[in-house]
Structure 1
Amino acid sequence: MSGILRTGFRRAAPALRGHTITQTANIRSKPAKAPINAVETTIGLGMLSLAILGPSGWILAHLEDYKKKD
């Protein structure tokens, strides 16, 4: 069975490598309509940090409760 798979992959490999497609990205951007101030940046980073670190902090704070077998 493994011999069949190896032979099949050898035959398919040149066909897969035959033509390569080059992708190019055309990125065009404009300046922001309304600039973001320091307060909005701080709130956004704070919420992102809370969303990432909050659940893991909750688990670590209640680790002893999770260890108990009732």
Structure 2
Amino acid sequence: MSALVPRLLSGLTRPARGLLHVPRAPLHARPPREELSLVDKTIAMTACFVAMLVPSGWILSHLSSYKKKE
């Protein structure tokens, strides 16, 4: 019985071949064509931080008004 269990479990763990074909994305590990300038990086990071921190700051600053029942 114990010799049969690994053979049964191996069918469950291996991927089902031929049932679902998912195309692989082409990945390239090479340097970028153009290096981003410091200004571009600063603008991108500022936009990301503003997009995340402004809404959460708004909610936290108005939290007391959200708790009040009208």
Give TM-score, length-normalised by structure 1.
0.59
CA RMSD, Structure 1 to Structure 2 (Å): 2.5
Identity, % of aligned positions: 36
TM-superposed deviation, 1:16: 0.8
Tell me, in whole angstroms, the C-alpha distance in 2 between the residues paired with 1:34 and 1:50.
26
TM-superposed deviation, 1:31: 2.7
Render the CA deviation track for 1:3-36: whole Å, top value 9, x for unaligned.
xxxxxxx8xx61212x46xxxxx84333322210
TM-superposed deviation, 1:68: 1.5
More helix by share: 1
Point out where structure 2 has 5 or more consecutive residues left out of the alignment: 16-25
Q: After the TM superposition, which parts of structure 1 deviate over 3 Å for at least 4 consecutive aligned residues?
A: none
Q: Is the deviation greater in 49-58 or in 36-45?
A: 49-58
Point out where structure 1 has 5 or more consecutive residues left out of the alignment: 1-9, 21-25
Residue in 2 that maps onto 1:6:
none
